[in-house]
């Protein structure tokens, strides 16, 4: 039997479409090496997004496809992943200790944005990434409570200037709540709030993060403008409910990010459906399909649709969000799928930026 050709092996590899990169691994540039020695094949693949929950399954799928090629006597497949820095807006320079900054925002309050931010950060960490979370809701910080960090916990200070982030469930966390008490209201004007956000970002010693998730306050005010103009953001996620009022504000949020050249990685639809815990009847209390409609309108992905669930609320209130409290639950699987989608979208943007032509001028 003759040895398989490289073209035939590559065709077998291309028959697998990565569900997050939305293309085959060869076209996506994920094939790092392919060696063919007679009937023996060795393949090395490196995904551009964290995927601890996928790598074994992907390796097995590729191994099966290659072994089915005529002439292949044995196949070795290794699948790994590596996170690179995606481009940021304008002329801003990326932080040296943070590869990607993801802003989680909403047009209005009460749509579950902070819960989404916390579970998204934990889901990225569950896939193997180094992740931090910054609570940028200066007026109503809640991430510390959601992560089970006790009121009164204070970050260590380095060189009388820099904050050491607090560790919680494998995340590095920083929040204005760590500098004040729960009973202390923040009565500041816009410039003071914007300055506080910049301090929290730049004076926190983040430890070589793959992703820093920023839980934004609702709306499109001073903090959002500061983020757009002075913080190197690689992408944003907009959270909404299917309710018409929430969708109107979510559209404003998407339009704001588009105007300041921060890519919208997708939309998360919270409270999409309620399933009765007694009879199992499902009901769309806040409307149906709203997240899908605005995602289609703006040409972005619907990253996930989450149910109106008492479990999600109870778990964040207790300081152990769903991804930590119920790691094998269906809801956690939605969050992890969402995390891969967000990370893969950033990976694609990084690849597109790397492939863009460089234009130079000379006097010749």
Q: Residues forming the annotated binding site for ATP?
A: 107-114
Report strand pairing: 156-158 vs 166-168. Answer: unpaired
Per the CB < 8 A criterion, the answer to whether 42 and 25 are in contact is no
Residue 249 per-residue DSSP state: H
Rounded (to 5) percent helix, strand, coil in the chain: 35, 25, 40
Strand order across the 235-240 sheet: 166-168, 171-175, 131-135, 209-215, 98-105, 235-240, 264-269, 302-305
Q: What are the residue ranges of helices labelled H in the chain?
A: 6-14, 55-67, 113-126, 143-146, 190-202, 222-230, 244-259, 290-298, 310-317, 322-325, 330-355
Residue set of the binding site: 107-114
Residue with the two structure tokens 């094939």: 31
Q: 31-37 and 23-24 as β-strands: parallel, antiparallel, unpaired?
A: unpaired
From the list 17, 46, 23, the residue with the least C-alpha distance to 34 is 46
Would you mind telling me the total number of residues written for the chain in this entry? 364
Cβ-based neighbour number of residue 235 at 10 Å: 24
- Residues 251/84/335/57 CA torsion (nearest 10 deg): 140
User: How far apart, in Å, do the first and last CA atoms of the chain sit?
Assistant: 57
Rounded-to-integer distance, Cα 10 and Cα 43, Å: 10
């Amino acid at each position: 039997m003759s040895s398989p050709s490289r073209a035939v092996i590559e065709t077998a590899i291309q028959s697998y479409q990565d569900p997050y990169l939305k293309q085959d691994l060869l076209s996506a540039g994920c094939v790092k090496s392919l060696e063919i020695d007679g009937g023996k094949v060795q393949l090395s693949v490196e995904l551009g997004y964290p995927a601890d929950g996928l790598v074994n399954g992907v390796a097995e799928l590729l191994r099966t496809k290659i072994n089915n090629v005529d002439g292949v006597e044995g196949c070795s497949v290794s699948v790994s992943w590596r996170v690179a820095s995606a481009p940021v807006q304008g002329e801003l320079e990326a932080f040296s200790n943070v590869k990607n900054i993801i802003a989680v925002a909403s047009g209005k309050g009460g749509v579950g944005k902070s819960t989404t931010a916390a579970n998204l950060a934990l889901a990225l960490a569950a896939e193997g990434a180094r992740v931090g979370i910054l609570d940028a809701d200066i007026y109503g910080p809640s991430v510390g409570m959601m992560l089970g960090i006790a009121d009164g916990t204070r970050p260590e200070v380095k060189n009388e200037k820099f904050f050491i982030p607090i560790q919680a469930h494998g995340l590095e966390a920083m929040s204005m709540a760590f500098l004040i008490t729960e009973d202390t209201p923040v009565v500041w004007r816009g410039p003071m709030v914007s300055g506080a956000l910049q301090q929290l970002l730049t004076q926190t010693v983040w430890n070589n993060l793959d992703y820093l998730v920023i839980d934004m306050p609702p709306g499109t005010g001073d903090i959002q403008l500061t983020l757009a103009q002075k913080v190197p953001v690689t992408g944003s996620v907009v959270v909404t409910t299917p309710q018409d009022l929430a969708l109107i504000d979510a559209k404003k949020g998407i339009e704001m990010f588009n105007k300041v050249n921060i890519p919208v990685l997708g939309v998360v639809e919270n409270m999409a459906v309620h399933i009765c815990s007694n009879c199992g009847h499902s009901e769309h209390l806040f409307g149906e399909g709203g997240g899908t409609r605005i995602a289609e309108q703006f040409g972005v992905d619907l990253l996930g649709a989450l149910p109106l669930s008492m479990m999600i609320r109870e778990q964040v209130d207790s300081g152990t969000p769903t991804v930590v409290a119920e790691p094998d639950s269906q809801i956690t699987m939605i969050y992890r799928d969402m995390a891969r989608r967000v990370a893969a979208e950033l990976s694609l943007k990084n690849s597109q930026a790397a492939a863009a032509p460089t234009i130079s001028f000379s006097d010749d």
